[in-house]
């Protein structure tokens, strides 16, 4: 790429960061790189590299006049290719611009939109708290890989029918049974551990690879049902516990949707002093309960054996203050529990029925969800498991 000279196209400001815009203006005002660098009190190499990066970014968006690229694409897209055809005199006569979705930028825009929408959500009034709870205990209610919005037929999977109505009835019924069977703990953690939504956009495909999914209805229908289901179980927890903490983990099926779920529920319960919602962007979440460390990760980015070292490295202060440590993961749809140096890792199964893809692949696992009770000093002291079959008993 040609080095920026004594003058650069002012229109490049449209794609500039604040600091790049400052360097661009200084270059055009002073007439040279070194003069601009002196005015900015930085080295000229910093200014040069920053402006080259600006030109590269603008070119990716379709703007590079020296290469006859003057048709920028909208924010959220990048240029895949440009075909320019010329007249007999060698002047550009027309141009085809091929664009593609910029996944990273669209995720950034989606997060900003979710935060903006959350500002207008009506805040719920505080609910009455339970009369008696045990201050030493914390109940963790784990729901993972629920795949709301997935469609499955028993005749095809030899398992069970599954759609949005069945998903809602199963979740509320099982969660109610979990709460009824656990101790009256002071703290309740609603651990929605990822892949709560089966698909992540208007198209029923996996976010990263675009695999077609069996879906029950439109995305708007799924969003409405998901919010209703989650609000119902959170309100159940508030009626049972004096303090409620909510985890809305990122999964590989709902990478973008988990963003708006976190921010929406944080806004929804903003006036409820007894509830906290973890809005951490990093998909490794933690909660400290006295000398017990509780960690959460869906499982799509790290293997279970890697989690102890990852959590120790990312949260060293909490690791040092605790003696009992537990990581909760999902993703693989079956139960696995193993003790590693310093931390026990529990992999949770799902309540959801399996879809045609899982059935054809021969993946079979027990459908269940478990509430685990933790003591501030002694760690795990109880667990209670529910299954969909219990709803019909």
pTM across the whole model: 0.72
For 43-48, which contacts have Cβ atoms below 8 Å and span 24 or more sequence positions?
47/23, 48/3, 48/4
Helix (H), strand (E), coil (C) string for the chain: CCCCCCCCCHHHHHHCCHHHHHHHHHHHHHCCHHHHHHHHCCCHHHHHHHHHHHHHHHHHCCEEHHHCEECCCCCCEEEEEEEEEECCCCCEEEEEEEEEECHHHHHHHHHHHHHHHHCCCCCCCCCCCCCCCEEEEEEEEEECCCCECECECHHHHCCCCECHHHHHHHHHHHHHHHHHHCCCEEEEEEEECCCCECCCCCCCECCCCCCECCECCCHHHHHHHHHHHHHHHHHHHHHHCCEEEEEECCCCCCCCHHHHHHHHHHHHCCCCCCEEEECCCCCCEEEEECCEEEEECCCCCCCHHHHHHHHHHHCHHHHHHCCEEEEEECCCCCCEEEEECCEEEEECCCCCCCCHHHHHHCCCCCCCEEEEEEECCCEEEEEEEECHHHHHC
Kindly state the tokens that stand for 117.
């929408």
- Other residues' Cβ atoms within 10 Å of the Cβ of residue 252: 18
Return d(Cα 212, Cα 310) in angstroms, integer: 33
CA distances from residue 44 to 2, 11, 121, 190 in whole angstroms, order as listed = 16, 22, 48, 53
The pLDDT of residue 101:
47
Cα–Cα distance measured from residue 330 to residue 334, given in angstroms and rounded to the nearest whole number: 8
Report which of 38, 40, 35, 2 is spatially closest to residue 21, judged by C-alpha positions.
Answer: 40
Main-chain dihedrals φ then ψ at residue 390, nearest 5 degrees: -65, -20
| CA within 13 Å, CB half, 315 | 21
d(CA 340, CA 371): 21
Query: What pLDDT was estimated at residue 54?
Result: 84
pLDDT along the chain (393 residues), means of 10: 62 82 88 87 83 81 70 56 61 56 57 57 73 93 97 94 96 96 97 96 86 89 91 95 97 94 92 95 97 98 97 98 98 96 98 93 93 98 96 78
CA pair distance 190, 277, nearest whole angstrom: 10
* Distance set, CA 242 to CA 176, 320, 381 (Å): 17, 27, 20
CB 321 within 8 A of CB 291: yes
The residues with which 177 forms a beta bridge, in sequence order, are none
Which residue shows structure tokens 């809602």? 168
Q: What are phi and psi of 323, to 5 degrees?
A: -115, -25
49: Cβ–Cβ under 8 A, 6 or more apart, which residues? none
Cβ atoms of 172 and 226 within 8 Å: the answer is: no
Q: What pLDDT, on a 0 to 100 scale, did the predictor assign at position 60? A: 75
Q: Quote the CA–CA distance of 343 and 305 in Å, as a whole number.
A: 10
So what's the pLDDT on residue 32?
A: 87
Q: Which two tokens stand for residue 253?
A: 């099926």
Q: Provide the token pair at 138.
A: 């914390």
The per-residue pLDDT for 45 is 82
**What domains are defined for the chain?**
10-103 (no CATH), 128-392 (3.60.21.10)
């Amino acid at each position: 790429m040609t080095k920026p000279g004594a003058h650069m196209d002012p229109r490049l400001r449209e794609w500039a960061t604040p600091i790049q815009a400052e360097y661009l203006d200084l270059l055009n005002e002073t007439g040279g790189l070194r003069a601009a660098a002196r005015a900015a009190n930085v080295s000229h190499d910093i200014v040069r590299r920053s402006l080259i990066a600006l030109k590269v970014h603008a070119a990716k968006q379709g703007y590079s006049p020296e290469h006859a690229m003057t048709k920028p694409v909208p924010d959220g897209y990048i240029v895949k290719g440009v075909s320019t055809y010329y007249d007999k005199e060698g002047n550009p006569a027309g141009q085809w611009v091929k664009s593609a979705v910029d996944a990273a930028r669209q995720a950034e825009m989606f997060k900003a939109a979710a935060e903006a929408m959350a500002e207008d959500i009506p805040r719920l009034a505080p609910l009455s708290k339970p009369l008696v709870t045990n201050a030493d205990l914390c109940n963790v209610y784990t729901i993972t890989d629920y795949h709301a919005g997935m469609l499955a037929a028993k005749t095809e999977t030899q398992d069970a029918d599954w759609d949005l109505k069945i998903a809602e009835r199963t979740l509320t019924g099982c969660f109610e049974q979990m709460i009824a069977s656990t101790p009256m703990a002071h703290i309740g953690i609603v651990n929605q551990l990822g892949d709560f939504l089966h698909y992540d956009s208007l198209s029923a495909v996996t976010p990263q690879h675009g695999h077609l999914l069996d879906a029950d209805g439109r995305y708007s229908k799924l969003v409405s049902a998901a919010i209703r289901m989650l609000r119902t179980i959170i309100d159940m927890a508030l009626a049972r516990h004096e303090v409620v903490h909510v985890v809305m983990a990122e999964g590989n099926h709902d990478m973008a949707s988990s963003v708006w779920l976190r921010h929406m529920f944080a806004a929804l319960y903003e006036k409820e002093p007894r509830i906290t919602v973890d809005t951490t962007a990093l998909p490794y979440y933690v909660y400290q309960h006295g000398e017990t460390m509780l960690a959460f990760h869906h499982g799509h980015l790290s293997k279970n054996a890697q989690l102890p070292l990852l959590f120790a490295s990312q949260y060293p202060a909490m690791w040092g203050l605790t003696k009992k440590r537990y990581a909760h993961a999902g993703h693989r749809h079956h139960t696995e529990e193993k003790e590693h140096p310093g931390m026990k890792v529990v992999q949770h199964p799902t309540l959801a029925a399996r879809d045609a893809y899982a059935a054809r692949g021969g993946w079979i696992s027990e459908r269940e969800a478990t509430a685990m009770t933790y003591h501030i000093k002694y760690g795990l002291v109880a667990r209670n498991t529910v299954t969909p079959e219990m709803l019909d008993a």
